[in-house]
Amino acid sequence: MTAYYHHYILNFKQPSGTSRGVLDSKETWFLILKDNDRKGIGECGMFKGLSIDDRPDFEQKLQWVCNHIHLGLNSLLQELVEYPSIQFGLEMAYMSLKSKYLFELFPSEFTEGSESISINGLIWMGSEDFMRQQITEKIEAGFTCIKMKIGAINFKTEVEILKSIRKEFSSNDIELRVDANGAFSPSEALEKLKVLSDFDLHSIEQPIKPGQLNDMAELCKNTPLPIALDEELIGVFSKEKKKDLLKTIMPQYIILKPTLIGGFHGSNEWIEIAEKQKIGWWITSALESNVGLNAIAQYTFTKHNFQPQGLGTGSLFTNNFASPLEVHNGSLFYNKKNNWKFNL
């Protein structure tokens, strides 16, 4: 077996605002395995500024994997504990290599096209007009769950936007989630959550920055609305530390991004621990191309979690790869009539 990787830059259709700044492009890396006439493709979608494996030796480690592919999947995964996005790309590539079809990793009713996955509509940060425009578009497109990123513009303005949605749509019509990306300080967070709780929100993601375990635990204990941990899970490698983190904080939900937490294996560990502690969860993509998004979506379907998942990012890029993935009425479908065009 041989392996090589290919660096690729995804370009956003329009700049996308987060609390970490505005994104106009997103780097990713494709790991390609060849074994005689068989081929496997995986995506290592390291996220600069967020991934724990955003480090100077990232590509060097990827090349090391290619040079040592003969060690086999399990041995390589153990060597890549601190490189979760490479772990995920490697898992994906091996599954692809062994699959009947290159991009069909988890055959199911989803890949057959008979079932879909409910997803949230993502509202990016920006001006008030821009955010309102996105909300209108998502509702008109049939989404019944909207996730709004907050923490970049004036909090009062964000509250007014939420208020205007609730004036028109009750929580029975539209489920509202907000994602603060750690934008609140511990001293102000509880008061802001009290304000937000007036709008019958489903949850708030990562209200304060990760790493403040006692503050987050206190917040989760006293919060008037459910809290979901997101960035808090990044860089927690061992099963024991995962258990300790959830036992200490006791959040209402956790959010799993396979690229950032060690792929399918890492996600399965978090799910097992969370369910034992009666903590809810859902799965989200992290700006991968359609290759990574496809793998995450297929995996997600097999988990039979029926609340909306965060898998609607495939249409953000001008140079994404054509795939069977389609979004209709707030759900992600796999349309087998559409062929893959992965031309690297």
Residues belonging to the active site:
149, 257
DSSP string for residues in 81-99 = TT-HHHHHHHHHHHHHHHS
CA distance 253 to 263: 19
Which residues, in sequence order, are bridge partners of residue 282? Answer: 255
Beta carbons of 42 and 103 less than 8 angstroms apart: no
Which CA distances in Å does 184 have to 2, 52, 160, 267? Answer: 47, 22, 18, 27
Which residues, in sequence order, are bridge partners of residue 141? Answer: none
Beta carbons of 321 and 342 less than 8 angstroms apart: yes
Which residues, in sequence order, are bridge partners of residue 118? Answer: 331
Give 230: exposed, middle or buried? Use CB within 10 Å, 0-12, 13-18, 19+. Answer: buried
